[in-house]
Amino acid sequence: MKSKIYVNEIGYRPNDRKVAVYSGKDAVNFKVMRKSGDCILEKTSGIGAYNTSTKDYEVKLDFSEVKEHGEYIIKVGEETSVPFVVGESIYDDVNKALMRFFFLQRCGTELTEADAGVYAHPVCHNTPARIYGTETFREVNGGWHDAGDYGRYIVAAAVTLAALFHAIENDESLLKVDMQIPESGQKLPDILAEIKYELDWMLKMQDEATGKVYHKVTCANFCGFVMPQYETEELVICPFSLTATADFAACMAMAVKFYEPYDKAFAERMAEAAKRAYAVMRDIQVPGGFLNPDGVVTGTYEDKNELDEQYWAAAEMYKAFGDELYRTEFENYVNQEILHGYGWEDVASFGNLAYLSTSYPTDEKIADKLRASMLEKADALMKKYETNNFEISFDEKDYIWGSNMYVAENGSHLFDAYKISGEDKYLTAAREHIHYILGKNPCNVCFITGFGTNKVLEPHHRPSAATKQAMPGMLIGGPDSGLHDPDAVRDCTGLAPALCHTDKLLSYSTNEVTIYWNSALLMLMAQVLS
Ligand code: G3I
Ligand code: 9MR
Ligand code: ZN
């Protein structure tokens, strides 16, 4: 039986706020003990408050005064928490594992045993891909497998890289991490070499003739739980989409400055690709946006609102190249409506940040409006944060597919407010979102595979299933009260929204992984832990 004490299973840095949660209505006495058995803090909690997300009462156990390095447990009566550490660099291993995931997702290349251990595989998905509905084939090898499946999707790729670029900008030490990849030790920092692996593939997804970008390349159907070299059905390239082309432009524009110091020709190629994509993105108008063509059933990344992608692209293009046209277009969007979002579907916050950080001239009034709107967004999140006993900015409606990404994303919105206002309350709140992911959550699990005591063991991830070993360093989707798969229906019917997670291989709606969930968390960690 798991205990009813919910705590960050990795631990806390000495000077950070430290709060665990306990299920119950009444105030409780709790003790923080060293593993050796010494009690170093004894306290009484406040009384419990009702939580609409768990449909239960919880109390908070604040032990922020414990600052000494060491390994601890918390006790409430006979109930004992999992052990956790207080220390300075306690998130380094998690961070590195989250980064290495991208390498382990590489497609179109051999992963050797020396580099990838049990997840080694020969080259996969290296046959020419058919352009849907034609007899034309195209070489689009490379990039990362998206998720638990082996598809490669431009929308997903672009937001992943955007978040990784922001992670690097907030924490330059990421450029020094030895990711133990084949390129380690060469002139490009490992993280940039890894990102380049994805960029190289993205460039192949742009049509030379028109500059438009194909939405995705996958087989027509999802394969079984096999290693990637065994998915040998024909690869199909799906039509161009506005979202893919706009996101591609934004991402390429962002990438330019990171590669300029190392590889001018590559940077120029990306600049050119970005400009071509931007110029034609609006010509790709399909009513309702991209949908799977007949016969293809893999992920759609469908998006009813395609405006925020253009908004983001305009801002990044202006930040990268300074042309008046891009500025005017972004300012026009903002004058109509300020949008937000750091996810695959809503991407506008990346645009807001780009406009606010460009070295080219901007309109102070527009910049002020953006900042005010970002603060307003964060204040709305703070309201939810204050009433959720697990201290994330969620109400009961927010536990949707990929909820852990939205947890990370909300943390980044709070961080934005901290940067704008200088008020610590936003930073503290943002950090709680990380504590939630690492174990201080009502599911009582550390949501990153390979970490914590209460581990995720059966992620919906084909290499993990094929090897029967959960690949470490993957952020799983987390509770989804929509019960979008049969295992979730079986295990979660009747549960409160925040509890709708099941650690079962077939539960893709609660227990899958993706590149853009890892990157969202890496971005938040870089922002609030560096
Ligand atoms: O936006 C609505 C929101 O307004 C509403 O309140 C809420 C209630 O359910 O639903 C929201 O939409 C959900 C959307 O995700 C939010 O991002 C949809 O119900 C939900 O079905 C949708 O799930 C997406 C899923 O694909 C199915 O399309 C996930 O976000 C997305 O991450 C996931 O991506 C898949 C790829 O297609 C294939 N590869 C694996 C990957 C991860 O599961
Ligand atoms: O493995 C697929 C996963 O990546 C997707 O997110 C999910 C929803 O599109 O679908 C998974 O594939 C399942 C398919 O939808 C239904 N048949 C079983 C497949 C494996 O669980
Ligand atoms: Zn592959």
> pLDDT-derived band of residue 155, with 50, 70 and 90 as boundaries?
very high
CATH class of 106-326: mainly alpha
Nearest CA owner, ligand 2 atom 11: 508
Any catalytic annotation for residue 503?
Answer: yes
Residues sharing a CB contact under 8 Å with residue 163, sequence separation 6 or more, in sequence order: 342, 516, 519, 520, 522, 523
Go through 237-271 and write b for each residue having 16 or more CB atoms within 10 A of its CB, e for each that does not. Answer: bbbbbbbbbbbbbbbbbbbbebbeeebeebbebbb
Ligand closest to Cα of 461 equals 2
In the predicted model, what is the mean pLDDT of residues 64-92? Answer: 97
CATH of domain 363-530: 1.50.10.10
Give the pLDDT score at 35. 86
In the predicted model, what is the mean pLDDT of residues 227-248? Answer: 98
Locate tokens 């395609």: which residue?
A: 306
In the predicted model, what is the mean pLDDT of residues 345-373? Answer: 98
> pLDDT-derived band of residue 233, with 50, 70 and 90 as boundaries?
very high
CA distances in angstroms from 438 to 94, 182, 512, 528, listed in the order given: 10, 30, 16, 15
> pLDDT-derived band of residue 108, with 50, 70 and 90 as boundaries?
very high
Task: Provide the β-strand partners of residue 485.
Answer: none
CATH topology assigned to domain 1-90: Immunoglobulin-like (2.60.40)
Give the pLDDT score at 2. 82
304-330 pLDDT, tens digit per residue, is 999 999 999 999 999 999 999 999 999
- pLDDT at residue 285 above 90? no
> pLDDT-derived band of residue 436, with 50, 70 and 90 as boundaries?
very high
Q: Are strands 235-237 and 129-131 parallel, antiparallel or unpaired?
A: parallel
Give the pLDDT score at 406. 98
- Residue-range domain boundaries for the chain: 1-90, 106-326, 363-530
Fold identical between 1-90 and 106-326?
A: no
Q: Pick from 105, 146, 149 the residue to mutate for probing ligand 2's pocket: most ligand atoms within 8 Å of its CB.
A: 149
Please provide the average confidence, as pLDDT, over all residues in the chain.
98
In the predicted model, what is the mean pLDDT of residues 520-525? Answer: 99
Which of the following is catalytic: 340, 413, 460, 501?
460
19-64 pLDDT, tens digit per residue, is 999 999 999 999 999 988 999 999 999 999 999 999 999 999 999 9
Please tell me the total number of residues recorded for the chain in this structure: 530
In the predicted model, what is the mean pLDDT of residues 210-225? Answer: 98
> In this prediction, what percent of the chain has a pLDDT beyond 90?
98
pTM check: above 0.85: yes
Q: Is the beta carbon of 447 within 6 A of some atom in ligand 1?
A: no
Containing 491, the helix (H) or strand (E) segment is helix 486-492
Query: Residue 237 Cα, ligand 3 centroid: separation in angstroms?
Result: 14
- pLDDT at residue 1 above 80? no
Atom of ligand 1 nearest to the CA of 517: 32
- pLDDT at residue 76 above 80? yes
Give the pLDDT score at 116. 98
